[in-house]
Structure 1
Amino acid sequence: MSPDWMHTRLVVVATAILGPVYFFLLMFILPFTLSPFTEPLYNIMFHYVVTPLVFSAPWMGIIYNSRYRFANTVHHMHDSTSSVPLRWRVFYGTNAAFVLAFFVLPIVTPPLAILGGLYVAGVVFYRVGVGKLGGGKLASALAVLIAIALCILPAIILLQFIPEYVLVWQEILATWSSFWVKIVYGIAQCLVNSLSFGAPVYFLYFAAQEYDRGVYGEVYTPTPTKWIRIAEAVIFIIFISLYLPPVPTPLGTIPFLDRSDLFNQYINWVSLGVVVILTLVKKLLGVENDTTLGGASNIVIVGMFLVVELFFKTDLLIVTLIIWLAFLLYASVFIANFLRASPREMY
């Protein structure tokens, strides 16, 4: 098995591990406790152990049943996005991870758990009915009891979880509109700016390599990718420190400087200028194989982030939509690759 295929399988395994971790953390940070019992200990076990396991189960089943397809999807994702520099893939992945964790998974998972339980129960009932389960009558009776539990338990959790979570969802939206939108959008904005600042350096080395090829027939000027990435990371940390407001945490408040005005007045204009100039230079020189700013869709997304920050920063709907737009672009690439991925193991 090649290292590339081993990597894809490691990604699938990591996803399967992170799923339960996410749901355990979700139940831990929610400001309510599911309480279907009168005994406090039972409620604690139900909330912090049973519910995360039930929420994780359908996703684990989906990942396991489609493990080869997911692995092949990761491989296709790597191939289809290889022209997009890693730094921009990190940007889109960060947006996608946030939207999934904040908006999608908490709402989709409870009904999915019920559907998953009903599906497994239906399979069990069918196998018992046609005599294909095996193990004798005792095993069949036990399987039927488990199947009934799979029908009832997710329903109980859903009935307990959704009414409480609707209230939390309202609080989340209120907090999102008043505070967290600035945090999430600020992180994305700082990523865009730091990566935009690194783009001219990549382009200069690309131009030098093209010159080497034209004059000497081979490249004598390798791109110091590692050092450029380190510089971009340092710039990102500086920008984060400048942009974000102080963020309260259980361990204390992180004293960010809350100077987003510097981005409106200076930094975003410079970044937008870099994007425009590099795009024009590439067009005028007829450069086609440079991936400094990624493809056309990437340039559009980056430009929209910068324009929104400059002119529509106070519009909550537009800011939220631009974050979702980046997520949908990433999700559409994933779905397209998933649909064309083989469900069989490939080497």
Structure 2
Amino acid sequence: DRFLLPSYIEETIRPNALGRFEDLLIATAQSPAMMFYLDNAQSVAPGSEPPFRRAGLDPRRMPSGINENYARELLELHTLGVDGGYTQQDVINVARIFTGWSIERPERGAGFVFRDWAHDRGDKQVLGYTFKSAGQNEGLRLLRFLAQRPGTMHHVSAKLCARFVADEPPDGCIDAAVAAWQRTRGDIRAVLRAIFTSPDFWSARAVRTKVKTPFEFVVSAVRAAGVEPDNTPQLAQLVARLGEPLYQQPAPTGYAETEAHWVNSGALLARMNAAVMIARECTSIAPADSHAQLVDEINQRLLGGSMSTHTRDVILEQLADINDPTQARDLALGLALGGPDFQRQ
């Protein structure tokens, strides 16, 4: 399924990231990458028979029943959340609704296709609502229904606030996001604007409190140091060594957003080593006449003047016996990039 990732990012996520949530939900549901990853392409109504079965194909290679993987993750991760009030029977009925949502054969483009012969034609009940048999439209109706459920609004808003504000986001921020969702029927841009203009976003509890993921750390360090990489696979390998191999998280939950997952002694040592390596490729900060002047410039370039007194003192102490300006620049920059202040978003 890794071969489907580029189209998933470029054709499914990016065009819908700032649109309406229900459109993003539909786009991901119909994405070959999602259907392959969560096995929905193999989900068919029990007893259904493809029109080409009589052509002599091996029946052991044909899909044989309902697969609940996508249905479960749709409810648990993409919409309502694990405490969203749904039951196992709801999961089964959602899976029935999405029978027939599949992937076209590779020689025909490997895009989304609805296979009517594989669809469960019975009525289904989800969260107390009945979905009459309507082919592909059942799935579209369900996705729009889920996108406007209060549980979805709160769950997704809380995840966005945890991503951008704090590991344990304040209720006020979540409430502002939910209100924007209700007002705009799920306009993601409006929801994000409500988060970014919330008082909680600019509070002392939120500003520079979240820890960068390995990907964020490497990208921000390379940019801050003015490095012009000519070997991007090497950067991807560096991110992987720091614990976040790109697009390779096996669980559908994705990589963690919380500090506890990324901060430990081994991880911080690995980041420091990476910082020293990146600093050697620096092109944006020239050697300075004095150590104090050098650290002050690094403070402004990397941290916007927010370097702590403790970090500044530690760097100056390490520079005390170094006379070579370039060596001093590389060491000071490496310590600043690997230090605690730069680990914050």
Same fold (TM over 0.5): no
Q: Bigger relative contact order, structure 1 or 2, given CA contacts below 8 A and separation 6+?
A: 1
